[in-house]
């Protein structure tokens, strides 16, 4: 795998981790007043669909080669969303 493909895959994994967390957060917020079992089923289905989409896009980027560091960067993007969300909330309430 060339370094260009690796860099593209890592960048995609980071952005997708950020997007994944954003979409799950929005899903939870939209389903706040529904039954807990329905919320759980919906979140599980969303995670399955987003996971299949992640693997499919990685397949098109680098022919289906998935390394552990792609998942580590995905988790880093996932955590980065929390940091951005905390910063946004602290700036929003400071005013």
pLDDT under 70: residue ranges of the chain: 88-95
In this prediction, residue 2 carries a pLDDT of 84
In this prediction, residue 92 carries a pLDDT of 59
* Count of CA atoms in the C-beta half-sphere (13 A) of 58: 27
> pLDDT (tens digit, 9 = 90+) per residue, 68-80?
888 899 899 988 8
In this prediction, residue 91 carries a pLDDT of 61
Region for residue 92 given its phi and psi (left: phi exceeds 0; alpha: psi -120 to 50; beta: otherwise): alpha
DSSP per residue over 49-91, as a string? HHHHHHHHHHHHHHTT---HHHHHHHHHHHHHHHHHHHHHHHH
């Amino acid at each position: 795998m060339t370094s260009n493909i690796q860099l593209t895959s890592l960048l995609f994994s980071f952005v997708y981790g950020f997007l994944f967390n954003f979409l799950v957060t929005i899903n939870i917020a939209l389903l706040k007043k529904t039954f807990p079992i329905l919320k759980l089923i919906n979140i599980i289905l969303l995670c399955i669909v987003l996971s299949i989409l992640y693997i499919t896009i990685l397949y098109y980027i680098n022919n289906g080669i998935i390394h552990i560091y792609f998942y580590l960067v995905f988790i880093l993007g996932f955590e980065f969303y929390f940091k951005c969300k905390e910063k946004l909330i602290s700036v929003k309430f400071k005013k």
